[in-house]
């Protein structure tokens, strides 16, 4: 009787292993088929889901290779500023906030970049996330910033660029196309490399 139970146990274990192996093989086959479909069809274009068409008929999206969404705002000094007015110049568009510790680390890098390449026509626009002008001005003075600080009181600019974390930085070509995107703090060296096609090299 004991030998019979042992035989049944061994047979059951073997059957379980065979079933498990068959399931793994089937899963691997399905995964391979899915991979082939993705390769043949291609991945979906994010810009198709994050972009929109302007009244002018131009399609914009906050994605690499897409025309940058419009930016219209007021600087901390009360001047109107539009990204469209800067067409023909390379632009670094940065999203930041005074409570953002990585932003404080990044600001001197942006200032260094601006000082180095201002003569090349570089514009740096730093859009602040819904903070008061006095607070932004105090931050500017503390960090000795000379580039444009945009106010984004209702977060409309950040929403247009689908910003989910601060800092986030977009490099925009003179033709208005997004050529690089950084999430998290970025260095002047990284930005200089990204801007290389548009600025004079020393």
Instruction: Indicate whether 85 and 38 sit together in one domain.
Output: no
Please choose, from the candidates 26, 195, 17, 70, the residue with its C-alpha nearest in 3D space to the C-alpha of residue 120: 195
User: 22-32 as b/e, with b when 16 or more CB fall inside 10 Å?
Assistant: eeeeeeeeeee
Q: Structural domain tally of the chain?
A: 2
Q: Domain range spanning residue 1?
A: 1-43
Is 49 domain-assigned?
no
User: 100-120 as b/e, with b when 16 or more CB fall inside 10 Å?
Assistant: beebbebbebbbebbeebeee
d(CA 47, CA 73): 24
Is 36 domain-assigned?
yes
pLDDT tens for the 202 residues of the chain, in order? 544 444 455 555 556 666 776 676 656 555 654 544 444 444 456 656 676 577 787 888 899 999 999 999 999 999 999 999 999 999 999 999 999 999 999 999 999 999 999 999 999 999 999 999 999 999 999 999 999 999 999 999 999 999 999 999 999 999 999 999 999 999 999 999 999 999 875 5
Cα–Cα distances in angstroms (integers) from residue 25 to residues 21, 31, 37, 87, in the given order? 6, 10, 18, 56
């Amino acid at each position: 009787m004991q030998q019979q139970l042992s035989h049944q146990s061994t047979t059951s274990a073997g059957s379980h292993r065979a079933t498990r192996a068959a399931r793994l093989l089937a899963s691997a086959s399905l995964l391979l088929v899915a991979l082939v479909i993705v390769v043949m069809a291609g991945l979906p274009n994010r810009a198709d889901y994050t972009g929109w068409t302007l009244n002018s008929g131009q399609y914009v999206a906050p994605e690499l290779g897409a025309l940058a969404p419009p930016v219209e705002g007021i600087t901390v000094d009360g001047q109107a500023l539009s990204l469209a007015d800067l067409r023909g110049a390379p632009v670094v568009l940065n999203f930041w906030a005074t409570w953002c510790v990585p932003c404080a680390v990044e600001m001197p890098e942006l200032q260094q970049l601006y000082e180095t390449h201002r003569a090349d026509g570089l514009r740096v626009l730093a859009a602040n996330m819904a903070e008061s002008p006095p607070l932004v001005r105090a931050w500017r003075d503390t960090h000795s910033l000379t580039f444009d600080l945009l106010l984004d009181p209702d977060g409309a600019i950040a929403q247009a660029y689908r910003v989910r974390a601060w800092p986030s930085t977009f490099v925009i070509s003179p033709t208005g196309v997004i050529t690089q995107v950084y999430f998290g703090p970025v260095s002047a060296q990284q930005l200089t490399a990204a801007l290389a096609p548009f600025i004079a090299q020393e």
